[in-house]
Amino acid sequence: RPIPVHGVARCRRKQQLLPACLGALMVQVLLRPPLVAVQRWKIQVAYDGSDFLGWQSLGDKSARTVHGSLLTALMKSHPQYGRHIAGPVPQLVGCSRTDRGVHAEAQVAHVDLVSLSDLDAATLKRRCNHRLPSDLRVMDVEAVDQNFHARKSALKKCYRYDLLLADEATPFQARYVWPVGPVDLPLLRTVAEQWNGRRVDCRPFTVNWRSSCRDGTDVFDEDYY
C-alpha cells in the first residue's frame, strides 16, 4: 500500500529530529547532579547561653547564635563541606528555640550530611567539639533515619527556672539563677498544689511557629516581630 506524501514527510521529519532529541537527553543526563546518599544525625547539645543571642541564626551573620556556631562546626568537621566543595548548606533543625541568655543541658537537633563510610557518630562528635567554643558542647551524636525530626518527634520538653532566695547572687551564681529575695514558701506550695495535675492552655503565650520562619524553611525571619 503506498504511503501518502504527507506521511512520508512526517517520517522524514521524525528521523531528522531523533538525533537532536537523543543529544539533548544525553546532555540532561550528563548535567544532572549525581545522587548523593545522605545521613541524618540526631545531635544533643549543652551550652551556657549567657553570651549567645539565642538558638536561631539571625539575618546578621555576625550575631553569635547557638545554631550558627553549631552549623559552622558541623560543616568544618565534614570533608564534603570543610573543603569548600560547592553544594547546598545543610539544614540544622532544633527541637525548639531558646532566647538570649537561656541555657540548655540537653537540647536536641538534627542535620542531614552527605554520608561517608569513615564518618561515624563518635568521629563527628569529636571533630565538632574540637571546633566549638568552650560554652557549647556536643554531648551525644546518633545516626537516625529520615523519619526522625528534632521538633516533630519530641515527646516532651522540660524547662527549669532556678530562683535564688537571696537579694544578690555571687559571681559564680549570677549567670544561672534569678535572685528574687525572700519569698513565702508555704504560700507558693499552696498555690502549686492547686495547679498540680491540671491541664493548662498555654496557647495565649505562644506564637505561630511556622509564620515566624522564612517561606519553606526553618530559618527564623528577623522581620517577623
**Crossing angle for the helix pair 66-76 and 121-131, nearest 10 degrees?**
120
Q: Which letter does DSSP use for residue 62 in this model?
A: T
Q: Looking at residue 43, what DSSP letter applies? A: E
Q: Judge whether 105 and 70 are in contact, CB under 8 Å.
A: no
Which residue spans within the chain are E strands per DSSP? 38-47, 92-94, 104-114, 136-144, 163-164, 178-179
Concerning whether 184 is annotated as a catalytic residue, the answer is: no
SS3 call for 220 = strand
Give 48: exposed, middle or buried? Use CB within 10 Å, 0-12, 13-18, 19+.
Answer: middle
54: left (phi over 0), alpha (psi -120 to 50) or beta: left
Catalytic residue among 48, 51, 60, 99: 99
Q: Please identify every residue annotated as catalytic.
A: 99
